[in-house]
Every structure is written in structure tokens, then in C-alpha cells.
Amino acid sequence: MSGTAAPAALAEPSERVGRAWTASLSLANGAIWVGWYGPIQILLALQAAELAPAGTAKETVLAWVTGAGAAVSMIANPLFGALSDRTTSRLGRRTPWIVAGVAGGAVALVLLAGARSVAAMAVGWCGVQLTLNAAFAAVTAALPDRVPPGQRGSVGGWLGAAQVLGAVAGTGLATAGGGVAGGYLACAACTVLGALPYVLHRDLVLPAGRRPAARPAAVLRGLWISPRRHPDLAWAWLTRFLINLGNALALLYLLYYLRDVLRRPDPGGGVLILTALNGVTLLGTVVVGGIWSDRTGRRKPFVLGAGVIMAAATGLLAGWQTWTGALCAAALLGVGFGVFTSVDLALMTEVLPAAADRAKDLGVINIANALPQVAAPALAAPLVHHLGGYRVLYAVAAAIGLVGALLVRRIRGVA
């Protein structure tokens, strides 16, 4: 290799990845989502109801805990991504952070299992977000590191499929774990075991001489990406943020919606049924959508259409407040989110400013996943308690998601 040639870790990949590599990366991604979604869908809500002090609503406790965790996530993802970009270990840039992240996440989930106060619950959940975001930043960066642009839609589809399977598996483990503590322990074990196959693959090594500046001030400055210099990335970020905010508003109080509005006798089981149905329809579109996008060479029409479908699904929850309506909404939401998950990820990798900062830049983009988890509780609580209840909550969520879908048209550098 000449002195001016980019090392493999920084070069634009051209060789298609194989099925074994894709499967192991997808499994690692799914394992991380088990660690997130078992708590988010079931365990944190049950724990909030158990630990809420007298006179404090369970919704308020859940909002504070999930909001604090999401705030940690917003910082952790780009920060650990930046550290990953600068890692010159013989194990590669990404593998050390995947190992450390899932191990730390398992420990934090075990601590959550033993939480006996709201403060301990908050500390445990913030620990889960801190550690699993380190692993997630590294897993996400593997896509532009190793996958050529023409294959990213299909690989992104498999990552999306693993994401929803992880959410379903996490929800199932949380429900079948024999209680809150057992649910956390089951999620912790699954998170560690699912990441093992990928870390056995050989990672790309960054030569020490090509490492970006590692001074703390340089790392912190690098977390800012100018919207003026990179407008496509800015519009892509805003699209993702608004669509995810609409989705977060729709899902945050799902357990309470089933319990308090639809009067389901087993709301936890109802969440599992809706999650499974959503997963089935998502799996039916996530890989197909990514492959179709690769073959057409277009991303924006798929993101736009998926966002409109998701907004329509959320609107059903506002206008058709029955168990049948919830089932239809879950199915339709899965169709839209499946296409969005695979194609939006591929789109994001095509607006990154520099190969040397892939994980950091994707971490900044992933703030658009975490920030809605902070904003949603702040918006949802007053909407439910003071501004019209769940009908208004879901109408607002649908409107926000629709605006996000329409903004994807502002991106110029991607078809």
C-alpha cells in the first residue's frame, strides 16, 4: 500500500459482504435491542408502578427514568462513536467497544433487577443506556465500514429485522421471566450471548498513524456537525428525529393505554401481542424494502412512503380506540417502520461527511433516535393528563411523524 492510499479501515468498501458476516452483525444488533426493549416495553413500566412514591403518578416516574436514560444515550452514542473511530487495537476499531458495551449492559440490567427505589432504578437504566450505546455505536458503524453502498439497503434490512426480533424477544423475555427481576436477568443473558458470534469475526484495524486527533477538546469539537456545511445530513437528521418522535409518543404509554383506556385484563400480554404482530408485518417489509431500494438506487421515496404509513397507523390509535383498532395500527405501523428502518439507515450512511469519523457521525445521527425518548415524556404527560388524553396524544404523534416524512424531500445529494 502506498503512503497516500487509505487503509482498509478508512476506504470506501467495494467487496460485498457474505451471509455469515451479515447474520452475526444482525444478531449482535438484535441482542442490544433485547437489552433495551425488554425494559422499555414492560419492565420499566411495571417497576415504575411498584416504586412510585405515594402521591406520584406512575407515568411521571416512568417519564423521569426514561428521560434520564435517553439523555445519557444522546451523549454516549456519539462520544463512544468518536472513541471507536480513534481505536487502534489489534482487535479492530469496533470489536473492543462491542465487547465492553454488552458486558457493561448486562451488569447494569442485573443492577436494575435489584433496584428498590426510583433513584436506583434511574441509575440502573442510565447505566444500561451508557453501555449499550457504546456497543450500538460500534455495530452501526460496521455498515459503512464494511458494506458497499449498493448493498447497504439489503444489509440494513437484515439489521432492521434483527432489531424488531430483538424487541419482540425482549418483550417476551420480560413477560415470561417470572417477574421484574427475572425479566431483567433474562434480557441480560440474551444480550451477552447474542453478541458473541460477531466479535469472533476479524475487524478492520486502524493504523496508529492514521488515528484522528484524540485530545478531549478535539473530540468534543468534532461532535458538532455544521448544518450549513452539510445540509443533507441536517435534513436527514431532522427527518429521522420527527418520525422517531411520533413513534416514541405512540409507544411510550402503550401499557397504560391498554390498561386504562381499552381496559384489557392482561395489558402486559396485550403489549406482547401487539409487539409480535408489529414484528410480523415489519419482518414482511424490512428486508424487501431494503433490497428494492438497492435495486432502484433510490432512498427518499421509500422513506417518504414509510413515514406516511406510520403516521396513518398512529392516527388509527387516535380515531379507533378499540382492541381491533390497536391490532390494525400495530400491523400498519410494522409495515411502515420496516421500510423506514432499512432504507433510512442506508440513506444516512450516504450523507456522512468523512470516513475517519463514521461512528461519531452516525452517533450524532443516532441522537435523532435518543432525543425523542427525552422529548416524548415531556410532551406526552401533559397531553394525556391536561390536554385531551390519549386521543390527542396519538393525533399529535401522527402529525409530527407526517411532517418528518415530508422533510426527506429536502435532501439533495441522495435520490
Per-residue pLDDT of the chain (415 residues; tens, 9 = 90+): 344 556 777 888 889 999 999 999 999 999 999 999 899 888 999 999 999 998 888 888 988 898 899 889 888 999 999 999 999 999 999 999 999 999 999 999 999 999 999 999 999 999 999 999 999 999 999 999 999 988 999 999 999 889 878 988 998 899 888 889 999 999 999 999 999 999 999 898 888 877 776 677 767 777 778 888 889 999 999 999 999 999 989 888 888 889 888 988 888 889 888 988 988 898 889 999 999 999 998 999 999 999 999 999 999 999 899 999 999 999 999 999 989 988 998 899 888 887 788 889 898 888 887 788 778 888 888 888 888 888 999 999 999 999 999 999 999 888 7
Whether the model pTM is above 0.85: no
Q: Which of 83, 79, 94 is nearest to 205 (CA)?
A: 94
pLDDT for 2 equals 40
Dihedral sign of CA atoms 331, 337, 341, 346 in order: positive
pLDDT for 367 equals 86
pLDDT for 58 equals 87
Q: Which of 103, 156, 106, 128 is nearest to 40 (CA)?
A: 128
Residue 169: Cβ within 10 Å count = 23
Domains contained in the chain, number: 1
The answer to whether residue 275 is domain-embedded is yes
- CB-count exposure of residue 241 (10 Å: 0-12, 13-18, 19+): buried
pLDDT for 214 equals 65
The answer to whether residue 234 is domain-embedded is yes
Q: Which of 36, 19, 38 is nearest to 155 (CA)?
A: 19
Amino acid at 358: R
Question: pLDDT by residue (tens digit) across 81-98?
Answer: 999 999 999 999 999 999
The answer to whether residue 14 is domain-embedded is no
The answer to whether residue 3 is domain-embedded is no
d(CA 389, CA 116): 31
The answer to whether residue 10 is domain-embedded is no
Question: pLDDT by residue (tens digit) across 355-370?
Answer: 788 889 898 888 887 7
Is the Cβ–Cβ distance between 407 and 242 less than 8 Å?
yes
The answer to whether residue 7 is domain-embedded is no
pLDDT for 234 equals 92
| DSSP single-letter state for residue 147 | S
DSSP codes, 270-324: HHHHHHHHHHHHHHHHHHHHHHHHHHHT--HHHHHHHHHHHHHHHHHHHH--SHH
CA triplet 152, 288, 272: central angle to 5 degrees? Answer: 105
The answer to whether residue 183 is domain-embedded is yes
The answer to whether residue 5 is domain-embedded is no
Read off the CATH number of the domain in which 333 is found. Answer: 1.20.1250.20
Domain range for 345: 19-205+215-410
Is the Cβ–Cβ distance between 93 and 206 less than 8 Å?
yes
Is the Cβ–Cβ distance between 313 and 329 less than 8 Å?
yes
CA triplet 146, 162, 154: central angle to 5 degrees? Answer: 50
